């Protein structure tokens, strides 16, 4: 079982964000201990990782919430969830291409500046 702090370290996100997500109901399997503290088991942690992934793909929090609600509803929503994730896969692919383009753009500019610096010797 992981506290918010441990989950944050584990997934590389802020405690604020984790509290924010749990308050929005994005982690249905979240537990609390006797002192009302949030506790993540392995399942919740993996779930949170997926939430993080979807958000980083550009999915709005409300849409992630809708996906989470589908997950809570069981097997009857598998097709719907499949459709959502497939669409996000496309978003992820686009992002990958854009990241490559950015790296290329910056490498090019750095290269230009380096030449200028070298030229001045």
Site residues for DNA per CB under 7 A: 3-6, 14-17, 19-20, 23, 34-38, 55, 60-62
Contact 31, 48 (CB under 8 A): no
In 3-state terms, what secondary structure has residue 39? Answer: strand
Residue with tokens 């959502």: 84
Contact 28, 66 (CB under 8 A): no
Q: How far is the CB of 86 from a copy of itself (least distance, A)?
A: 6
Contact 41, 30 (CB under 8 A): no
For residue 114, the partner it binds in a copy of itself, DNA, none, with Cβ less than 5 to 8 A by kind, is a copy of itself
- The contact set with a copy of itself (CB under 8 A) reads 49-50, 53, 56-57, 75, 78-79, 81-82, 85-86, 88-89, 92-93, 95-96, 98-100, 102-103, 105-107, 109-110, 113-114, 116-117
């Amino acid at each position: 079982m992981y506290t918010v702090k441990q989950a944050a370290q584990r997934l590389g996100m802020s405690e604020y964000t984790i509290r924010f997500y749990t308050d929005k109901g994005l982690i249905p399997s979240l537990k609390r201990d006797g002192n009302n503290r949030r506790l993540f088991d392995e399942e919740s942690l993996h779930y949170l990782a997926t939430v993080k992934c979807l958000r980083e793909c550009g999915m709005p929090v409300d849409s992630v919430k809708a996906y989470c609600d589908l997950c809570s509803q069981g097997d009857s929503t598998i097709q719907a969830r499949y459709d959502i994730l497939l669409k996000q896969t496309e978003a992820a692919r686009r992002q990958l291409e854009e990241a490559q383009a950015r790296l290329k753009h910056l490498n090019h500019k750095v290269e230009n500046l380096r030449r200028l610096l070298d030229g001045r010797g």
